[in-house]
Amino acid sequence: MTPVPAGNTVSRFSLGEGFSWPDPDIEGTLVVSQPSVDPELWTDYTAGAVRSYSKRGVECALDIDALRSGDDTIMFGAVVADSGHVIGGYRAIALRSPDDSHAIGEWEGQPGQQDVRQMIAERVPYGVLEMKTGWVTDAAERNPYLTTALARSCFYMMVILDFQYTMCTAATQVLNSWRSSGSVVAPIPATPYPNEHYRTKMMWWNRRDFVSHAQPRQLGKIVSETKELLHEQFRRGRVGAGVSSLIPSSPAELLQSHAFEVA
C-alpha cells in the first residue's frame, strides 16, 4: 500500500450520508457516519460515552470539547438497538503525526512512550485512524457482541479512506473482545491509565495482515459487510480511485491469499 497524504484526505473528506446495516447478533444496527451527517446520533453517542465513563469514575479520559464539537472526528461508529437507543460506539480521528494521538499522553512518564511515538510515526504515511471514546452498554448478555461488532467496523472506515492502519488503546480486561477482528497487541509495557486501577495497552489493526489474526466468524463478517459497503458506495457513485472492489467472495478464498487486504 502506498503512503497516504492523510492531512489532505481528511481536510476535504465528507461522507455525505452514513452507512448502516443490521446485525442479528446485536439485535440492532451498526452505523458508520460523521457528526455533521448525523448530529442527533452523534449527540446520543456522546451522551452515552459521558454516562459510561462517569459511572466508572474515569471521565477525566474524555475530551469534552471534542465531544461537543465533533471537529476532530472524521467518522464514528454506533450501535443502535432495535428500540432506537444507542447502546455503544466509538469515534475515530485521522492521525497526521504522533502528537495528534491521545496515546502519547496516556504513556506520559512511562518507559514505553517513545516506542508508542515511533510506532505511530512509522505508520502515519500509510494512513492511521485512532479509535477513541469507546463504550458499550453494561447489559452483560449484550456487551461481548457489541464489542465484537464495533471491533470490525474500523475496517469499513479504513476502506472508505484507503488507510492501512487503525490503532486504539484499551484496558487489559477487554483486549480479547477487540482482538477478535484481527488486531495485534503492541509489545509495549502497559500504562496505568486513566488511573492506577487500569493497565492500558496499545492495539493495531492492519488491513494487509489481519487475516492471520482474526477469528473465523469475524473474518466472514468483515468480508461480507465490506462487500455490502462497496456495493453501496458504487450505488452512490462515491468510490474513490484508491478503493478497489476486488475482494474475495468467501472466507475460504480469503484464507488462500497471502497478500490479502480488505478492499
Q: 164: domain CATH number?
A: 3.40.630.30
Containing domain of residue 166, as a range? 6-256
Model pTM score: 0.85
Tell me if 261 is assigned to some domain: no
Q: How distant is the alpha carbon of residue 52 from its chain centre?
A: 18
User: What pLDDT tens digit does each residue of the chain (263 aa) get?
Assistant: 666 555 444 556 888 899 998 888 888 999 999 999 999 999 999 999 999 999 999 998 999 999 999 999 999 999 999 899 999 999 999 999 999 999 999 999 999 999 999 999 999 999 999 999 999 988 656 667 888 899 999 999 999 999 999 999 999 888 888 899 999 999 999 999 999 999 999 999 999 999 999 999 999 999 999 988 888 888 887 644 333 332 333 444 433 333 345 55
Q: Is residue 60 part of a domain?
A: yes
For residue 262, being part of any structural domain is answered with: no
Is residue 263 one of the residues assigned to a domain? no
| Domains held by the chain: number | 1
In a domain, 217, yes or no: yes
